[in-house]
Structure 1
Amino acid sequence: MKNKIKLCILLLFSLSISAQKSNKPSTFERYLQTKELVNVQLIDSSIRADLKYATTDNFAKTILYDTLFNIYAHPVAAEKLAKAQKYLKELNPELSLLVYDAVRPLSVQKKMYKVVQNTKYAAYVANPSRTGLHNYGMAIDLTICDNKGQPLDMGTSFDFFGRAAGINKEAELVAEGILTKQQVKNRNLLRKVMTRAGFLTIRGEWWHFNAVSLSEAKRLYKIIE
């Protein structure tokens, strides 16, 4: 009986990996497609992905996207991301954008909010009643990596909660020895390619970029439930 259970587990794991490798959309991804979101890597396959919330390698230490294998975003954000990648490749063909998170359906936001209650991270996760641009597929969390997929040093990890993640006082952070000049140079490169493609920055997170303003998203686009 135990051997049969092990065999079933291995088979399910194999099928999951096969679907991931074949780029076959999961049920969840097909749902995102019905909401007119697009698989960014079908637009530009050179853009890399390390979807943190599809693994336990995130601040919540919990898998929040259990069947998401590709980067999905609103077409407006996807087009801008492809432009940013093209510009980065023009500057340095050895580098690539590496996406950590894109669309975050409201159902996932609710799950994340529930997971962090009564933890030290509770204050950092928005209440689902206050929708954000990830919920529209209009926000991208990302970094830059080399041709081996190794992220450039940005001074902090993704989803780091602290002032070192902010972008508005980087010179001060360098003077204090919290950041290095090279780390800030790497951040500047990321901001350069993203803002040239039309993305907007936010002060508190070097990795977060918005394709449109929240007011524009609320006026023109639909939330992904």
Structure 2
Amino acid sequence: MRQTPLVLLVFSLFHSFALSLFAQPKVEQAMKKQGLVNVQDVDPTILVELKYSTTDNFVGKDVYGDLTRAYMQPMAARKLAEASKYLQAHHPGLRLLVYDAARPRSAQWNLWNALPNLSERERRKYVADPREGSIHNYGCAVDLTVATKEGRSGAPEPLDMGTKYDFFGELAYPSREKELLRAGKLTQKQIDNRQILRTAMRQGGFTPIEYEWWHFNALSRAKAKMAFRIVN
């Protein structure tokens, strides 16, 4: 019996969908099942370099494995797109560069256990207790910086923010910038670069935190907990 072109088309589409589904990492499948979205599907101009999918992080090893895309709750991804739109309208040569977004709780434990020499109070400044869950675990927080669209090498180049991502210390504290400027530990240019990021993120509806210039919340933890489930 000859197959009609319609039957062949339907089979081809189903086969392509099945292949793409199984090609996705399991953690991405879980995130999508919970309704999270790839931020680059919402705004393709947003740059992504998940630091915990590399060894360039405070743990010194790949924590995320095959997760290399940034996922967030749809409302948070839309806010990020608004921040990106504002940034490009006021600084056409700059782009948001995402370092971390939705984070599985299993990875949260890895980060928490990587700081055994700090007191629990100090640890909580930098890594949320996995038993309570980070706002990252709900897909409502993002770590990021601002980068030039094209640097000297042709690739995007992050602006100088005074410290690296995941720097544990006062130099990274937004709350101490004026004091650090007076002490000569931060330059005005570095603070101005941080302000570019903060202004764009606030315009998108995000809230900064006291201890990390790179971290922004789309919702409080209490509201995220009421609205969403933790990504496991």
CA distance in 1, matches of 2:127, 2:208: 18
Q: How many residues align?
A: 203
- Matched with 2:78 is 79
- State the Cα deviation string for residues 58-112 of structure 1 (Å, max 9, x = none): 0000111101121111111100000100111101111000000001111111222
Query: Could you tell me which of 195, 210, 223 is aligned with 1:216?
Result: 223
- Matched with 2:143 is 141
CA distance in 2, matches of 1:111, 1:164: 25
- Matched with 2:36 is 37
Query: Could you tell me which of 176, 180, 199 is aligned with 1:192?
Result: 199
Unaligned runs of 5+ in 1: 1-23
SS of equivalent to 2:145: strand
Residue 114 of structure 1 and its aligned partner are, at CA, apart by: 3.1
CA distance in 1, matches of 2:127, 2:215: 14
Q: Percent identity?
A: 45
SS of equivalent to 1:196: helix
CA distance in 2, matches of 1:168, 1:114: 27
CA distance in 2, matches of 1:127, 1:195: 26
Residue 147 of structure 1 and its aligned partner are, at CA, apart by: 1.3
SS of equivalent to 1:134: helix
Residue 26 of structure 1 and its aligned partner are, at CA, apart by: 2.4
CA distance in 2, matches of 1:120, 1:128: 15
Change (3 A) 1:63 1:216: same
- Matched with 2:188 is 181
Give the alignment's TM-score, normalised by structure 1: 0.85
- Which amino acid is the alignment partner of residue 145 of structure 1? A
CA distance in 1, matches of 2:227, 2:80: 20
- Matched with 2:214 is 207
Change (3 A) 1:192 1:33: same
- Matched with 2:8 is none
Give the alignment's TM-score, normalised by structure 2: 0.83
- State the Cα deviation string for residues 135-167 of structure 1 (Å, max 9, x = none): 101000000000121000001110000001011
Query: Could you tell me which of 149, 162, 171 is aligned with 1:155?
Result: 162
Residue 115 of structure 1 and its aligned partner are, at CA, apart by: 3.7
CA distance in 1, matches of 2:54, 2:118: 19
CA distance in 2, matches of 1:118, 1:191: 31
Residue 127 of structure 1 and its aligned partner are, at CA, apart by: 2.7
Unaligned runs of 5+ in 2: 1-22, 151-155
Structure 2 matches for 1:81-160, cutoff 5 A?
A: 81-117=80-116, 123=123, 124-148=126-150, 149-160=156-167
